[in-house]
């Protein structure tokens, strides 16, 4: 894992087309802004994990339906 230090309004560039900006720092919380192309999905980790669980559930249901 790459660990970087940034201050408010500083940014990180990923792959020439994704920009992560530190929008606000308040106590132990940091607000980040993400600028990315529309075709690049951007999710909070807990949302991404829920999507992956749902996709596995659907895939398993489809596979069970093919066996019968």
Q: How far is CA 29 from the centre of its chain?
A: 17
Give me the pLDDT at residue 62, please. 82
Residue 68 has pLDDT above 60, yes or no: no
Q: 14: which residues sit within 8 A by CB, 6+ positions away?
A: 20
Give me the pLDDT at residue 61, please. 85
- CA gap 63, 10 in Å, rounded: 47
Give me the pLDDT at residue 9, please. 98
| 8 φ/ψ angles, rounded to the nearest 5 degrees | -55, 135
pTM over 0.85, yes/no: no
Give me the pLDDT at residue 67, please. 56
Which sequence spans correspond to the domains of the chain?
A: 11-67
pLDDT tens string 8-57: 999 999 999 999 999 999 999 999 999 999 999 999 999 999 999 999 99
The count of other CB atoms within 10 Å of the CB of residue 12 is 13
């Amino acid at each position: 894992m790459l660990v970087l230090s940034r201050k408010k309004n500083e940014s990180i560039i990923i792959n020439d087309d994704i920009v992560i900006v530190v929008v606000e720092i308040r106590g132990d919380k940091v607000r980040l802004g993400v600028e990315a192309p529309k075709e690049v999905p951007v999710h909070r980790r807990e949302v991404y994990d829920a999507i992956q669980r749902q996709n596995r559930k659907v895939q398993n249901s489809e596979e069970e339906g093919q066996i019968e």
